[in-house]
Amino acid sequence: MKISEAESLVMEVLWRQHPLAAEEVVAALAEAQQWQEATVKTLLNRLLKKGAIDAEKEGRRYLYTPVLRREDWVLEESQGLLERLFNGRVAPLVAHFSQHRKLSRKDVAELRKLLEELDP
């Protein structure tokens, strides 16, 4: 499922909480993005058409719920990037970050822990 940048911001709102009415999505986005209401509605419609979200009537409005799971989307996006840039492998990405000093102390700690717990 292909989600554009702007659309993904709408999805993030719905992933955090759902179902939500358009108005609520607008409100949630108002701070970060300064989008007009119409803009958000367009994005909701496009997401609907793509099947990334679902709308169910509630009185005179719709409540929107994600269909696409963040989990899956994140995996798709990440794998896409890894394939394009790192031959599809994770370690080279981490190495790249390491070389550029982009690994925080916290990252290192978490990675160590993760690896310890792996494949015991």
Partner DNA sequence: CAAGAACGATTACATCCGTAATCTCTCAGG
Partner DNA sequence: CCTGAGAGATTACGGATGTAATCGTTCTTG
The residues that touch a copy of itself, with contacts defined as CB under 8 A, are 8, 74-75, 77-79, 81, 84-86, 89-98, 100, 102-104, 106-108, 110-112, 114-115, 118-119
* 47 CB burial (10 A radius; 0-12, 13-18, 19+): buried
Phi and psi for 65 in degrees, rounded to 5?
-135, 140
Decide which of DNA, a copy of itself, none touches 84; Cβ closer than 5 to 8 Å per partner kind: a copy of itself
Closest approach of DNA to the CB of residue 29, in Å: 10
Contact 40, 22 (CB under 8 A): yes
Closest approach of DNA to the CB of residue 50, in Å: 8
Classified as helix, coil or strand, 14 is: helix
What are 18's two structure tokens?
Answer: 């759902």
Residues in the site for DNA, rule: CB under 7 A? 2, 4-7, 21-23, 33-36, 38-39, 41-43, 45-46, 48, 60-62
